[in-house]
Amino acid sequence: MMPSIFKADATKFNTLGIGRLTRCVSCIVKEEINGAYELEMTVLSDEPFIEYIQVSNIIAVKPNMVDPVQAFVIEEIKRNINGEIQIYGTHVAQHRAKLIPVGRFATNSLAGVITHLNSSRGTLEPSPFTFKTDMTSTSGFAQNIPKSLRDVMGGSEGSILDVYGGEYSYNNFDVLLTSKRGKNAGARVIYGKNMTSFDQENVFDWDDSATGVLPYWATSEGVADVIGDIQYSQYVDLYPYNKTVTVDFSDKFDEMPTQAELEAMAATWINSKGLPSMTLEVGLDQYDMTFAEVNTLQLGDAVTVVNSVYNVNYQSRVVGYEFNVLAESYNSLTVGTKKLTIAEVIAQTAAVTIKKEGLNVSQESSGTLVVG
């Protein structure tokens, strides 16, 4: 479908708006889990609605094969001598959230945070947002200094993502925080079948993994009153050497936990850290109805990538995509390791102890991953 353009103050996008941009020659939407949600578009200078292509106006497009039309705020415009105009936009929720201030507040649960943000006093200026979550947590939340709504949501220490975890999904101004996006519909991308391109990146880094955690609970004065034993990942024997991180779990408890309670929390945490990163970017033939499940893939969905040339048989999640709006098909899917959010980067501290040599990894919990 052709993109539609709206004025900057629009809040509903289920019409044609000002009109269709019929001289659009390319339109791409990119999204990553808890990351950027962006639009890149090129129109010709003889576009009938050229006068409305202005910074802060809004482009509405269908962003993938499943979701309804989404709005993107124009943040940058470039023109060249060939009569082409490049337009760069950010999803309306991510753009607007940067501009709305939130004052100090405190609450004793995630539900309390959501209720506060949806209330008339939740932001210091009027907000078009509606927040929802399918998660529950009784961990407290305190914001002691004013921040933008975007920083409250994620991207800074003490943000909602930092305290409660989860993954955001957007429907224009409706924002859902869910424990994990996606479904498993048995989608497969297979070399020699429906795979049209393949790029594999194996990086043996430690950015989003660990073999063990030394947990502690500290008082408000910063004294660690409860220190647990190191809790090791179920994957520890698959690593060439250990990476044990120290983590403060103080904000996960309303009162001082027992050592057993602290260690139980740490054990759950460490087993979510996964294996050394592997990222696959694949192109796919969406017209091969033998593999029709790929036509309904969304961010977070499970997908299996099979490439016999490189001995890859890897089941993981869609962590990013590039969608061709005009062709109504995916240019590519990114499968595997998502990029770190700012909140995750802030939270990382590590001490590495060399233990083993060599690497031979096989992952059964989320499919089969073979790393030489």
Asked whether residue 295 carries a pLDDT value surpassing 90, the answer given is: no
Residues 269 and 361 grouped into a single domain: yes
Judge if 265 and 353 occupy the same domain.
Answer: yes
Residues 102 and 220 in one domain: no
Give yes or no for a contact between 156 and 98, defined as CB atoms under 8 angstroms apart.
no
- Provide the terminal-to-terminal Cα distance of the chain, rounded to the nearest Å: 44
When pLDDT is averaged across residues 216-245 and rounded to a whole number, the result is 85
Please state the rounded mean pLDDT for residues 365-369: 31
Which pTM does this prediction carry?
0.76
Nearest CA-CA partner of 143 in 128, 127, 122, 129 = 122
Helix (H) / strand (E) element for 345: namely helix 342-347
Q: Are residues 63 and 121 in the same domain?
A: no
Q: Are residues 352 and 232 in the same domain?
A: yes
Q: How many domains does the chain have?
A: 4
Nearest by Cα to 50 from 74, 32, 29: 74
Domain shared by 168 and 285, yes or no: no
Is the domain of 357 the same as that of 228?
yes
Q: Report which of residues 56 and 277 the model is more confident about.
A: 56
Range of the domain at 76: 4-96
- Do 108 and 150 lie in one domain? The reply is yes
Assign 138 a pLDDT band (cuts: 50, 70, 90).
Answer: confident
Cβ-contact 197, 283 below 8 angstroms? yes
User: What are the pLDDT digits (tens) for 238-293?
Assistant: 677 788 889 999 888 888 999 999 999 898 888 766 555 678 899 988 888 888 89
Based on the domain organization, do 25 and 83 belong to the same domain? yes
Asked if pLDDT for residue 358 goes beyond 80, the answer is no
Query: At 22, is the pLDDT very low, low, confident or very high (cuts 50, 70, 90)?
Result: very high
Query: CA-to-CA distance for 338 and 365, rounded, in angstroms?
Result: 18
